[in-house]
Amino acid sequence: MSKPRKPKGRPISGWLILDKPFDFGSTEAVAKIKWLFKAQKAGHAGTLDPLASGMLPIALGDATKTVPYVMDGRKIYEFTVTWGEERSTDDLEGTVTQSADKRPTADAIKAILGEYTGTIQQIPPQFSAIKIDGERAYDLAREGEVVEIPSREVEIHRLTLIGCPDENTAEFEVECGKGTYVRALARDFGRQLGCYGHISGLRRSFVAPFGEDDMVPLAELTALEKIEDEAERLAALDAFLIDTGEALSSLPQIVINDDQAHRLRMGNPIILRGRDAPVSADEAYATARGKLVAIGEIGGGEFRPKRVFAG
């Protein structure tokens, strides 16, 4: 019987909060970071279109187990809408499908923003990753099909008109929940205002719990390739990593000792003692010596692990 293959790369874990450049795909960015760090595993929390820039949280190693918690977090985008044209992709990449000479005033724009705040129904763009009968909508759109995509509920926490640089463009900032398409906002603004519109600039500045101060430009990382000594180069790269547990800051935390950490890593529950111990929680995380040990549930005076992390 053949031995299982040893994974290639380093068993390094943590989050790298990349400031993704314009015209660079999310999958391409993850592959580049995985190669730079020589990591065994890598994944990202929330795709950014190639024409969008900004925050792309990339998980390395065991941090990939915490990706869903970042995917569910709030996000902030700054975006520019150009009026006068609706496009097939709802951004600069697509072909023009509708056009109009009308241009909205700032007051007219502000008057409709309340309708896009709170819990709203949104129809995702034709060019999106939504599955229709088992196929991605963007694959069907590339083949020329126009498909009926059902609307879905999304949460818009805050939507602000920043300004109108000229009559043809308007700049916005939106804070929104999981699954919101900013391109769809531009499309719907334009239709309601009778002038059509598409995204001509998009930047993500926040993905909870990570902020702008956590972002690292790709150029800053690739500049380290000139360091010839591999150990020195990797140490310089590792300095940019954020601890895996930071992704779980929205969950209750329990601090445990080394013996308890060993039990959890073996898949066993631990008894919680002390008046400050949480009584119950569907999800919580345990740390020892400041490092993530496990994600689990709390009930009946116990912490029961669901996912464990290497020490």
- Residues with a known catalytic role: 49
Please state the separation of Cα 198 from the chain's center in Å: 22
* DSSP H helix total and E strand total for the chain: 8, 18
Residue 142: closest CA among 218, 89, 78: 89
Return phi, psi of residue 131, to 5°: -90, 130
d(CA 237, CA 31) in angstroms, rounded, equals 15
- Tokens representing 214 are 């956590």
Q: Which residues pair with 238 in a beta bridge?
A: none
**172 touches 60 (CB < 8 A):** no
Q: 123: which DSSP letter? A: P
Q: Is the omega angle on the peptide bond into residue 209 within 30 degrees of 0, that is, cis?
A: yes
